[in-house]
A and B are shown apart, each in its own frame.
Chain A
Amino acid sequence: MTSQHESAPALPEKHYLSGAWSPQDWLLTKDHKRIGILYLVGISIFFALGGLMAVLIRMELATPSGDLMPADVYNRVFTMHGVLMVFFFLIPSIPAVLGNFLLPIMIGAKDLAFPKINLLSWYIYMIGGAMTFYGLLVGGIDTGWTFYTPLSSGYATGPVLTVAVGVFIAGFSSILTGLNFIVTIHRMRAPGLTWFRLPLFVWGHYATSIIQILGTPVVAITILLVGAERLFHIGVFDPKIGGDPILFQHLFWFYSHPAVYIMILPSMGVVSEIIAAFSRKKVFGYKFVAFASIGIAVLGFLVWGHHMFTSGQSLYAGAVFSFITMLVAVPSAIKVFNWTATLYKGAIAWDTPLLYALGFIGLFTIGGLTGVMLGTLGFDLHVHDTYFVVAHFHYVMVGGAILGFLGGLHYWWPKITGKLYNEFWSKISAGIIFIGFNLTFFPQFILGYLGMPRRYHSYPEEFQVLNILSSAGASILGIGFVIPVIYLLASLANKRYAGNNPWGAVGLEWQIPSPPPTENFETPPVVTDEPYTYPQPDEKEAPVGV
């Protein structure tokens, strides 16, 4: 390893960012680290666009009357919010940025198994995103992110096919990423890095990849069927020509429920890494946490009917789906309990990544438990299509997936850029995000329980107080998202170098320089340790006696 004075870390002489910077050096790069940065740029653009839509939604809902925009514009705004956030931010966020950057390093490899396919996946993603954005510019669509028929077929009022094809194309980037990860994890682990020595981040991504490969083709085929029905009048979803609109929901949710786990499993992987690093302990019940990821991925494919309790789906099928939905809570709870047990008696360091990880645990638990409520047939009948559902999935997706992403970004930012960010502002903004988030979405649980339906631009006056709370929270949350952009970008300009291992964490990625060299490792590493082997204070102190 490079010898450095602990007091004054410096940038390594050569690293993956120090090479050539002409456009083709970036746009034709096969380096997984640079591709990760390309993805970071991509998802940031779509997050900003999706966020802008969220701002418009909360502005409209600050008053009971639909005064900011007419109903059909509002429908387009929340649809684009959902489409951009789900397909172009949440799904690629952690795997394509942090996974891309870290997965090869964590397993001691030079790159992913298929570097060119990795680059291809970014282009496919950007083309899909551009097409969807074009659909937004030429009028937008009002189907909701779920594209339910007949809104997307017989009663389509906008460029539905353009947007749907954009999502279809982006799906292939997700499949390719999953494929690349699975082959890489199987074939390119360093000598000595057995499956049970893999970081849990890698396990999370392995489980995610399974879903990406098995689920995404189904939603792609579904989109093709919608196209085939509209273009050739083959009866698939339209009852007039022998189809069934509920079939669309089956096919759509077969992918889209597991897709929730594409968003959350990588986040859980990030949280496992952070909790271990900042409590200086081995993750409690490592194997259970690892297998819980696989369990969630598999069970996640058996529950999709819980989105369809009120659709006309058979009650008997609904009962089965409801039962299996309860089962998903088991592996999820295993993770939450094991993280908590890891923290117990740990040497806790209250750095920003840990704040995000703790936020994740709390908010994901609320999101998950309200999911169990919604998975109950009787309760779902009461709150279906209300703000209760909106609040539930934002607790999972913002409170879970996005906090995990931000936690991971803050944890590995020094590794990715070689620079330290402003600690004061990073802690402040983590707090602002936590407060803003809860203020935005907790009132929506109450609104939904009281019966306020989702997807309307106006509402009865009695709901205004809670809606104003929510809109106020959204503006706080928005500020919380802007501050990190400022201090993270500012960190690039300063000279506070991170050194190899600013957190004192274990794991292969912390043994190489920050930023890493293009080939990651000077000499291929050999792994001899179990994961997360932190020296235990009580082991050292044991002879002193109790």
Chain B
Amino acid sequence: MNDKLMTLNLKIWRQKSAKHKGRMQDYKLSGVSPDMSFLEMVDLLNEQLVRQGDDPVAFDHDCREGICGMCSMMINGEAHGPSALTTTCQLHMRHFHDGDSIVIEPFRAKAFPVIKDLMVDRSAFDKVIQAGGFVSVNTGNPQDANNIPISKENADLAMDAAACIGCGACVASCPNASAMLFVSAKISQLALLPQGQVEAKARAESMVQKMDEVGFGNCSNHAECEASCPKGIDLSNIARMNREYFKAKFS
């Protein structure tokens, strides 16, 4: 056996379903390689649990390459764990040490109810998108590239905003469970481009309204969202949303 393998003390939130009460449960897991991703470490635990005839820990994951935004987990009190600009699936066990205790919990917000164990229902985000996160265009042949001139600066800012993968880390890390970083990125990526400007006012109003309606908290400008965002979405997006919203109401 490789002597670099680690043994970890895990404390994981177990909850049978949305209706059941959950609790933290302790697990000891050995044979963890520093080369494993965090999710592979949980896979290892689940193989052990299945072998013992226990219920494996349910958790969300899909791409495992940092682009889908599914792997929501609160690791030692931080969304997606301690590494900046990193999703849980891209977090590696080399950031931990033999004998470490690791607390793993689901993202917690009224708008993100727990489905089972570490899985939460993030469809509140979809509802916000449905409220206005689109442009209405007639379909048909695509236009020639560069038909609509867009400044390099705005193109870059729109691309930066569009890097949001909707993982929900902003909500999870915000002391108020506010979704403003997500919503503002979705508003910004469209408001910055001519195609999105037509509906900019109505979009800002309806997306903000929906965001409040589905139960997210308010923004206190703590900036924990920006600090926890695996894609580095900038706080200036929230400022843009505040501007857009103000403009929509008063101009």
A-B complex is real: no
Task: Report A's interface with B, CB cutoff 8 A.
Answer: none
